[in-house]
Structure 1
Amino acid sequence: MDIKTAAALHRLRLASIPEAISFPALLIFGTGFRLAFGYDALVMPLGLIHGVLFITYVVLLLDLWNRTKWPFKRVAFFFVLAIVPFGGLYGDRVLRREEEAGVIAARARKEGVVNA
C-alpha cells in the first residue's frame, strides 16, 4: 500500500466515527427536542452538521475506492454502514484492521521479508 492510499484509508477512518455518531446523536436528539417542546430551531443546524459529515464520508469513500480499486460490493458495504446508526463504528474497526495490515506489509517489504 502506497502512502497516498494509506492516507486515504486513514482519512476515511477519521470521518467514519463522527459520521456514525452524528445520525443518532444529532438528528434523533433534534427531532425528539422538536416533538417534545415544539422547538424547530435545532433541527436545521443539527441536520446540516450531519449532512456535511455524511457527504464528507461519501467523498472520502469514493476517493479510497478510486485508489484501492475495491470491488463495488465492498464499497456498497461501507456506504450502507454510513446509513445504519452506529454502523460507522463497525466500519472503523474493519478499516483499522485493513490499515494495520497495510502498515505491516509495507514494513515487511522495506525489511526485505516479502518480495512483493
Structure 2
Amino acid sequence: MRSLLSTHIGRLRIIAFLEGVSLLVLLFIAVPLKYAGHNPAMVKAMGPIHGTLFLLFIYNTISVGIEQRWKRDTITKVLLACIIPFGTFYIDKKVLRKG
C-alpha cells in the first residue's frame, strides 16, 4: 500500500478503486433504497462522496496522462472507465498496473 502512495500512478489506482466502489454502492444500493425503499438518506450521503472521488479521478487521470505521456486514446479510455460500472477495475488491470 505504501508503494502505491509514493507514485502518481499509484495514487490514481487508489482513487480509481475508491471511485469504482462508490459508483457501485450508489447504483446498486443507494438508488434502489431511494426508489424502492423510499429512503433517500444513502443517496444524500454517497452522492457528494462519489462526486468528489469522480472529480479527483478525472484530475489525476489527466495529470498522470501528461506525466506518463499517454496517447490521447489511453487518456480517453481511462476517463470513460469512470462512468461505466466496474470500468475502473477493468482499466486498473489493463492500463494502470502497467504504469
Query: What SS is found at the alignment partner of 1:42?
Result: helix
Q: Which has the higher contact order (CA 8 A, sep 6+)?
A: 1
Report the AA paired with residue 31 of structure 1.
V
> Which residue of 2 is the match for residue 93 of structure 1?
93
1:9 and 2:9 aligned: yes
1:47-101 deviation per Cα after TM superposition (whole angstroms, max 9, x unaligned):
11111111111111011022122111110000111111011111111211x13xx
Q: Report the count of equivalent residues.
A: 93
Q: TM-score, normalised by structure 2?
A: 0.84
Over aligned residues, Cα RMSD in angstroms? 1.5
> Which residue of 2 is the match for residue 37 of structure 1?
37
Q: TM-score, normalised by structure 1?
A: 0.72
Cα distance in 1, alignment partners of residues 25 and 41 from structure 2: 16
Larger Rg: 1
Query: Structure 1 stretches (4+) deviating beyond 2 angstroms?
Result: none
Unaligned runs of 5+ in 1: 1-5, 100-116
